Structure 1
Amino acid sequence: MARLNFVQFIFLAIVYAGITGKSPATAEVMKGAYWFEQPLLPPSAIETSLFSHLYYAFVMPNNVTFKLEISNSTATSISNFIDSLHSKDPTIKTLLSIGGGDSDSLVFSTMASNSSTRKIFIDSTIEVARNFGFDGLDLDWEYPQNPKEMNDLDLLLKEWRLAINLDATTSGRPPLLLSAAVYFAVEFFLSNTSRSYPVASMNQNMDWINVMSYDLHGAWSNNTGAPAGLFDPKSNVTVIYGIQSWIGAGALPEKVIMGIPLYGRTWTLKDTSVHGMGAQAVGAGPGNGTLQFFQVEQFNNDTGATVAYDVNTVSAYSYSGTSWIGYDDPLTVTAKIGFAQALGLRGYFFWACGFDAFNSNWKVARQGKILFLSPCINNFLSSVHCELTHKSEVTLVKK
């Protein structure tokens, strides 16, 4: 194997991208994370200094009335979330996220299909956000299924923005922020039903777009892969392709936020002697296909796993016996931060808050906090020189 040091590995990633560093726009920088109710990480344990925005995930509209109906237990959870964060950092921004990957897409498509149900939904979201003291709202509709639903999303965003502006005028308070979590690419090119997001409407009506640049590979395929690989010489299923597709379709870079996973995808290898990127597998590995970052580190330590870095995808993976895990770590996140800054993106967000906290001391989140907008990244992009290698796998030599 070729041996690279820290700087060489990151520089190689930037060279692959073919881009040069530039400062993001002057809009408020996003260093965000989604948090959901979990016993291991109450809101009081969140290291707020690492984030500018935190999302409460998730709530759903009623499938008949389309209003946000907050149960007593959820109301208690939300209040604890808001109060705990603001007691530690009064300046941190909070957003209420609506939907999620496990939500029923039909609820959103039905709601968005006519003006009366859109208004009911919109009015209730603003009311709930104001009542609990959120700074904004986030839509996580996964996903509009056809061109009509994309057109309905367009109408929903326009009407939502008008209602938010009216609320700000009548209440005298700052307008609520409005964001959305979206597919990794602007067009669903892997689907049998071609459809694209309404980018013009999103530019005009949203404060930013959270691009879910992850879950690109998983145990649903019987080949190992980088769950959030920056590049892939054999495929467009990559972070760089997805982000550039959004910008190519007209999304303003200062409205684009790169999603970074704090978890890995796992496989069970078919042959323990074949363990590189793309190796054949026979199904899900440890954790039934998913491990949080701290669990990946624990697995590596407990099993003495081999940890490798794939330069072609700019991703980490580890293997021990039949178990194989693809993930991001502080090193690969450094490359992603450089990439995001090189494109002038507004920032990044993590799914999910705290997955790198337990026994890991917020290792990945700290890396993002230190590097994004740090002069060392710009200096690095403009001045670092190193000898490149054509090898695809490296053993890292940290300095």
Structure 2
Amino acid sequence: MGKLLAILAVLCLKSFEFSYSTDIINCYWGTWAYYRTGDGKFDASNINPRLCTHLSYSFFGINDSGEIVSLDTWLDYDLGFISKAVGLKRQNPSLKVLAVVGGWNQGSIKYSSMAGDKHKRQNFVKSAVNLLSKNGFDGLDLDWEYPSQRGGNSHDRANFVTLLRELKKAFDPRGYQLTIAVGAGEKIASVSYDIANIVPYVKFINLMTYDFATASDGKTGFNSPLMAIENSIIFWLNHGAPANKLVLGVGTYGRTFQLSDASQNKPGARCLGGGSAGTYTRESGFLGYNEICLNKWKTIFDNKNDSPYAFSGDQWVSFDNEFSVELKMYSAFSHGLAGVMIWSLETDDFRGKCGQSYPLLKTINKIMHK
């Protein structure tokens, strides 16, 4: 779609009434951003809880016995980050605060072992209930990346369903919500998830519709191209997930690349690896939107992928801006999805250094509530 056609499509779509199932805006919070320096430092005081329906506190892990454990007790308890997160409900009484277990760095092996062992599953479920009840959480988000992959086994698909069923049985009498974050694309989802049998046990499913290209591909590519998102949504719908349980993922960050030849800077150009680490995030191959928007790089909107990219010298980044987020919103919600989630609060321009604070999250709110 050309840029002019894309703009016209947005204008046309604005004239339609969208049927939002639940108006979910799920905001993931990577609590380790507290350790970032300068304007990248982030804590509960930087959160506007009125911009979210759910706050997903990330991450907890598990031990070898399958019990949920804190990954940073000093942050979670000594500094009181959990109580501060739950305390945000005083500003927005309808806010739901979820404890998130898992994440990429936790891997898959421990979760595979836990899900395949009756006693370890019992430990997990019991510790989940204890974690939620003792800290005032409203539910649990399980982010196992990924069943049957990264050291897991073929039984993980079935065991994941069993685990969710046992969690729901324990949660329902207490009114706790159970949600999951999943690999969105067919390549991951077809291996990891028995989609139709997962659906009865979860409140909603967070589709991680980003990371479609990284520097490990050996070439530049788009973090979250619209067509890949569309294909992911259709895959999940066709395999038994109802639209009113699917939540679209929006990344508030970009994937970066170091170009092999600075003069070859179009999508698909060869790269040597991840781009230079950012001032705040300090991770090669990754920049927060709050870092990208401050850069004076040449920026181009790619019409084919409905996403912007930017470059300077041998540095190249694919990301989302306010316009591409609007396109994703209108396109995805034409499917009647339940809502949107962001990964994550602390990499949006939360201080408003480039304009208004939380520009991407506020774009989501604007479209959701228009």
Is 1:32 aligned to residue 26 of structure 2? yes
User: For 1:340, which of 332, 338, 342 is the aligned residue?
Assistant: 332
Contact 1:157–1:201 (CA under 8 A) maintained in structure 2: no
Match of 1:278 in 2: 268
3-state SS of paired residue (1:60): strand
Match of 1:212 in 2: 208
The verdict on how the C-alpha distance between 1:223 and 1:339 changes in structure 2, with shifts beyond 3 A counting, is: same
The verdict on how the C-alpha distance between 1:91 and 1:12 changes in structure 2, with shifts beyond 3 A counting, is: closer
Shift in Å, 1:295: 0.5
Match of 1:47 in 2: 48
Whole-angstrom CA distance in 2 between matches of 1:330 and 1:215: 18
Contact 2:206–2:341 (CA under 8 A) maintained in structure 1: yes
Match of 2:280 in 1: none
Which residues of 2 match residues 175-214 of structure 1 at below 5 A?
Answer: 175-185=175-185, 188=188, 195-214=191-210
Contact 2:147–2:192 (CA under 8 A) maintained in structure 1: no
Any idea what the Cα deviations from partners look like across 1:201-228, whole Å, max 9, x if unmatched? 2221100000100111011122111111
The verdict on how the C-alpha distance between 1:239 and 1:14 changes in structure 2, with shifts beyond 3 A counting, is: farther
3-state SS of paired residue (2:125): helix
Shift in Å, 1:195: 2.0
The verdict on how the C-alpha distance between 1:159 and 1:14 changes in structure 2, with shifts beyond 3 A counting, is: farther
The verdict on how the C-alpha distance between 1:215 and 1:204 changes in structure 2, with shifts beyond 3 A counting, is: same
- Counterpart AA for 1:160: L
Contact 1:22–1:342 (CA under 8 A) maintained in structure 2: no
3-state SS of paired residue (1:295): helix
User: For 1:130, which of 130, 133, 136 is the aligned residue?
Assistant: 133
Match of 1:155 in 2: 162
Is 1:69 aligned to residue 69 of structure 2? yes
Contact 1:319–1:325 (CA under 8 A) maintained in structure 2: yes
User: For 2:259, which of 240, 246, 269 is the aligned residue?
Assistant: 269
3-state SS of paired residue (1:220): helix
Shift in Å, 1:12: 5.1
The verdict on how the C-alpha distance between 1:281 and 1:129 changes in structure 2, with shifts beyond 3 A counting, is: same
User: For 2:342, which of 344, 350, 353 is the aligned residue?
Assistant: 350
Which residues of 2 match residues 163-182 of structure 1 at below 5 A?
Answer: 163-165=170-172, 167-168=173-174, 175-182=175-182
Match of 2:38 in 1: none
Is 1:81 aligned to residue 75 of structure 2? no
Shift in Å, 1:337: 0.6
- Counterpart AA for 1:286: S
User: For 1:97, which of 95, 100, 116 is the aligned residue?
Assistant: 100
What TM-score, normalized by structure 2, do the two folds share? 0.87
Whole-angstrom CA distance in 1 between matches of 2:60 and 2:249: 20
Any idea what the Cα deviations from partners look like across 1:237-257, whole Å, max 9, x if unmatched? x11111111011010001000
Whole-angstrom CA distance in 2 between matches of 1:215 and 1:13: 24
Contact 1:30–1:346 (CA under 8 A) maintained in structure 2: yes
The verdict on how the C-alpha distance between 1:90 and 1:373 changes in structure 2, with shifts beyond 3 A counting, is: closer
3-state SS of paired residue (1:69): strand
3-state SS of paired residue (2:55): strand
3-state SS of paired residue (2:191): coil
Which residues of 2 match residues 364-379 of structure 1 at below 5 A?
Answer: 364-374=360-370
- Counterpart AA for 1:259: G
Contact 1:86–1:92 (CA under 8 A) maintained in structure 2: yes
Shift in Å, 1:13: 7.9
Whole-angstrom CA distance in 1 between matches of 2:333 and 2:155: 34
3-state SS of paired residue (2:216): coil
Contact 2:30–2:346 (CA under 8 A) maintained in structure 1: no
Whole-angstrom CA distance in 1 between matches of 2:317 and 2:69: 39
Contact 1:255–1:345 (CA under 8 A) maintained in structure 2: yes
- Counterpart AA for 2:367: L
Higher relative contact order, structure no. (Cα contacts within 8 Å, ≥ 6 residues apart): 1
Is 1:224 aligned to residue 220 of structure 2? yes
Is 1:23 aligned to residue 25 of structure 2? no
Contact 1:10–1:334 (CA under 8 A) maintained in structure 2: no
Whole-angstrom CA distance in 1 between matches of 2:216 and 2:250: 20
Number of aligned positions between the proteins: 344
- Counterpart AA for 1:283: G
3-state SS of paired residue (1:299): coil
Contact 1:24–1:346 (CA under 8 A) maintained in structure 2: no
Whole-angstrom CA distance in 2 between matches of 1:112 and 1:248: 26
